[in-house]
Structure 1
Amino acid sequence: MKTVILILFSLFIICACNNNKKFDENKEAAAPILKSQADTANYTEIQWVDSIIDFGTMRTEDSMHFKFRFKNTGSKPLFISEAQSSCGCTVTNYPKDPIMPGKTSFISATFNSNFSIGPVFKTITVMANTKNNNQHVLLLHGEIVSKENR
């Protein structure tokens, strides 16, 4: 229940930092991934090993790296077409090649705490060719304290 509340709460959080993230605009490279998402016969299943990460406490001006692990539990190749963070203070990276059935991979995220002190909830929205729901929300949460605190 606590997890559900955290996810719902994070969806209503307005990001306090600027989103200056640049997106890949190479449409030719993205075409096979987008085509695979439109073809529902090639949908597969994903199992998230890590979908919520509580990083505890970190100081302002620090950064942390995280890995959200997942497994392709379906029978078709898994294509991740996008992993977009809720604001520019979290930068994501995702596999561009297909993840074959039974294989594992991860979405990486780097969070920079260069903003206000207090609780923080950041989401990463992942788009994939998955059955029932092709949009998955990952959550990073914790607390930012002054860099003078140790």
Structure 2
Amino acid sequence: MKKILMITMLLICGFVYAAAQNQAEIKFDKMTHNFGTFSEKNPVQKATFTFTNTGKAPLVINQVVASCGCTVPHYDKRPIAPGQKGSIEITYNGQGKFPGHFKKSITIRTNAKTEMTRLYIEGVMQEK
């Protein structure tokens, strides 16, 4: 009975190890985008974050959440094959916000080996 239990445990560990080797992995070209200085007259700014699936399995983006309602992410919900590129477009709308420096975060949750990644946008909005 102990032999059967031990063999079963070894098989389970082997399958888990093999599955872990065939995971997706996300690698961004940059983690922060600085808009620089822009006028309050033109409060809408856009940035694109490009990434590559450097893993050995399809990459699925489960969720992209911005730290506030003034920052809106757009992304393709289709799986990204190994070796392929994808992008996340971020739109910042500073209308109605106080002029000055801002820094916002965007949290990405995926099926990759590193399940959570955080991107940042920042800039300085000047008064009209």
With the shorter chain as reference, the TM-score category is 0.7 to 0.9
Percent sequence identity over aligned pairs: 35
Aligned counterparts of 2:20 and 2:111: Cα–Cα separation in 1: 8
Amino acid across the alignment from 1:71: T
Cα shift readout 1:69-100 (whole Å, capped 9, x = no counterpart): 10000010000011110000011111110000
The alignment's C-alpha RMSD in Å is 1.6
Aligned counterparts of 1:41 and 1:79: Cα–Cα separation in 2: 17
Aligned counterparts of 2:110 and 2:23: Cα–Cα separation in 1: 9
Deviation (angstroms), 1:40 = 6.0
Q: Bigger CA drift: 57-66 or 122-131?
A: 57-66
Instruction: Give the match for residue 83 of structure 2.
Output: 102
1:68 to 46, 49, 52: 49
Give the 4+ runs in structure 1 shifted more than 6 A: none
Aligned counterparts of 2:39 and 2:63: Cα–Cα separation in 1: 29
Aligned counterparts of 1:95 and 1:55: Cα–Cα separation in 2: 23
**Corresponding residue SS for 1:58:** strand
Amino acid across the alignment from 1:50: K
TM-score, normalised with respect to structure 1: 0.68
1:54 to 9, 34, 44: 34
Aligned counterparts of 2:22 and 2:64: Cα–Cα separation in 1: 20
Instruction: Give the match for residue 14 of structure 1.
Output: none
Cα shift readout 1:43-69 (whole Å, capped 9, x = no counterpart): 311111021101101222520111111
Structure 2 contact 22–55 (Cα < 8 Å) conserved: no
Amino acid across the alignment from 1:70: F
Instruction: Give the match for residue 5 of structure 2.
Output: none
TM-score, normalised with respect to structure 2: 0.79
In structure 2, the CA distance between the partners of 1:83 and 1:40, relative to structure 1 (3 Å rule), is: farther
**Unaligned ranges ≥5, structure 1:** 1-38
Tell me the number of residue pairs that the alignment of Structure 1 and Structure 2 aligns.
108
